[in-house]
Amino acid sequence: MKLEIKKEGKIKFFVPTGRKITKKDEVFYNPEMKFDRDLSEVIVSILKPKKICDCLAGSGVRSLRYKSILDNAEVVANDKNPKASELIKKNARLNKFKIRVENKDANVLMFGEKFDFIDIDPFGSPIYFLDSCARAIKNHGNVAITATDTAPLCGTSLLTCLRRYGIKSLRTDFSKELGLRILISATIKNFARYDLAFKPIFSYCRRHYFRVFGKIERGAKRADKLLKNFDYISYCQKCGWRKEGIFEKCGFCGNKTSLIQEIYLGDFAQKEFCNKILEKWWSIVKKFELQGKLEELPRKEFEYLPNISRFIRTIRNEQNYPPYYEIHKLCKLNKKQPKEMGLLLEKLDAERTHFSPLGIKTRKSFEEILKALD
């Protein structure tokens, strides 16, 4: 296995030389996930866990980045592939970091220990690791979950979604938000079986993956309270009308509706936590500014962070709204002409959504939305 040295954040590391990323890779490293690792590093620096588990560590980049900002934390980097675990050790030595490297099945590792923060970042679905995670996470701990199986979650493979997540997805104009909410729903239900409340504090969709950060609180009543945020969505595939609850016919065109099973309809991010991320981000900018190195920020330690501020603000502002409307698809279904986005936002007292540059979130009725498109 030929290796090359790369750099992210404050660390250097060896990775396999320029190969196409596949599930069969012996040592997994995805450069396209750098944005996520940058953002995760900021979030973990806010949470300050004492014991971290990166249970599917691959090359160990995420583990080492966590260690680089939390020197006193115990970081456990695990991968069941022996070549991967050896590479993690090599990368830890390169950075002169003391971390614990394990070569176990992720479920076996989590079965026997307790952690303050668990990061589940698989190639595919995280569902196979949630039971072990629920047993291994401490009360008031935090869990980060990634899912890259976006096709079933977004309605392309309905039976796969039903089989994995216990919820049948549907093709809609808000498919990305539906996919994220199905992932959150399945996670909440899984933790609730252990009388644990999984409270989403920050979640998002980007490119080919979903990412969810949640805080864990022990207690059946807390879990039950979270389950009260679940409801059905009735959706009309003819005109795009939707409404919470069970309605056999569309409230606009009278067509028969499709029913989305009970899913989590609460906020997928906490506004207060979004503000903490923004505050941390600006402290990083200020640090570079004081050092006279602000021009280095985009291309060095946090290459994508200039975009993170806008990204976080959008997520913060789109909370406490129904699922978004994809304007171009809505116009196509109802034979309307798309209007300028700024004008629509003003007319409908709406917010943009991070799910789609052509999507908006509003509390206005469906009829009012279509009228604004006239």
Residue 21, pLDDT above cutoff 60: no
DSSP designation for 112: T
Q: Which two tokens stand for residue 222?
A: 């807390």
Name the helix (H) or strand (E) containing 62.
helix 61-69
* pLDDT for the residue numbered 355: 98
Between 89-93, 223-227, 292-296, 348-352, the lowest mean confidence (pLDDT) is in: 292-296
d(CA 251, CA 244): 12
pLDDT at 178 exceeding the cut of 90: yes
CA distance linking residue 111 with residue 135, whole number of Å: 7
What is residue 299's predicted lDDT score, i.e. its pLDDT?
45
The DSSP code sequence of 334-373 is: TT-----HHHHHHHTT-EEETTEEEEEE--S-HHHHHHHT
Most confident region among 14-18, 257-261, 286-290 by mean pLDDT: 257-261
- pLDDT tens for residues 68-126? 999 999 999 999 999 999 999 999 999 999 999 999 999 999 998 999 999 999 999 99
User: Is there a common fold for 3-229 and 324-374?
Assistant: no
The average pLDDT across 195-204 equals 99
| Averaged pLDDT, 330-349 | 95
What CATH number has the domain spanning 324-374? 3.30.56.70
For 52-65, write each residue's pLDDT tens digit. 999 999 999 999 99
Where along the chain do its domains lie?
3-229, 324-374
**Fold of the domain built from segment(s) 3-229:** Rossmann fold (3.40.50)
More confident residue, 112 or 279: 279
Q: 206-257: per-residue pLDDT in tens?
A: 989 999 999 999 999 999 999 999 999 999 999 999 999 999 999 999 999 9
| pLDDT at position 300 | 46
